[in-house]
Amino acid sequence: MMVAGIGSRKGVSVEEVLAAIETALEAHGLAMTALSALATAPLKKDEAAISAAGRALNLPVVIAEDRVLQQASPRSRCDLSQSRAGTPSVSEASALAVAGAGARLLGPRTVVGPVTCAIAISGDAP
């Protein structure tokens, strides 16, 4: 399972979210079709652009559980994310949490304007 974790400022556009996902995937030589789901934190559950991106890509948007987010080990650190979401990186922690036990990041999050995207792969994937 491959998951794109999404973090953003409030009020971003669906185009900005899609651009961040595409940029993150391209950095790893992957196509949109490689994704199984989008993920984000409970803090972002009402962010319309993230839901719209899921619909545009025909992918589920999974809201990671707070306790699982806090157990994830993201590579990047953002003090604002830590204070608001309880994790140093919403995108990385969300991707890891939703990809499941043993998941790993393909690299650090990608930042495209007001949106961050991190790609995680499940622990049972080759």
CB contact at 8 A, 97 and 62: no
| Closest to 28 in 3D by CA, of 117, 100, 88 | 117
Residue 41 belongs to domain spanning: 2-119
Residue 10: predicted pLDDT? 92
Residue 109 within any structural domain of the chain = yes
Residue 101: predicted pLDDT? 84
Residue 17 within any structural domain of the chain = yes
Residue 75: predicted pLDDT? 58
Sign of the CA dihedral with 12 first, then 15, 20, and 21 last: positive
pTM assigned to the model: 0.88
Neighbouring residues of 5: CB distance < 8 A, sequence distance ≥ 6:
38, 39, 40, 64, 90, 91, 92, 93, 94, 95, 96, 98, 109, 117, 118, 119, 120
Residue 66: predicted pLDDT? 76
* CATH for 15: 3.30.420.180
> Reduced to 3 states, what is the DSSP secondary structure of residue 13?
coil
Residue 124 within any structural domain of the chain = no
Mean pLDDT per 10-residue section of the chain, whose length is 126 residues: 95 98 97 96 93 98 83 61 60 92 92 96 76
Q: How many domains does the chain have?
A: 1
Residue 125 within any structural domain of the chain = no
Residue 81: predicted pLDDT? 54
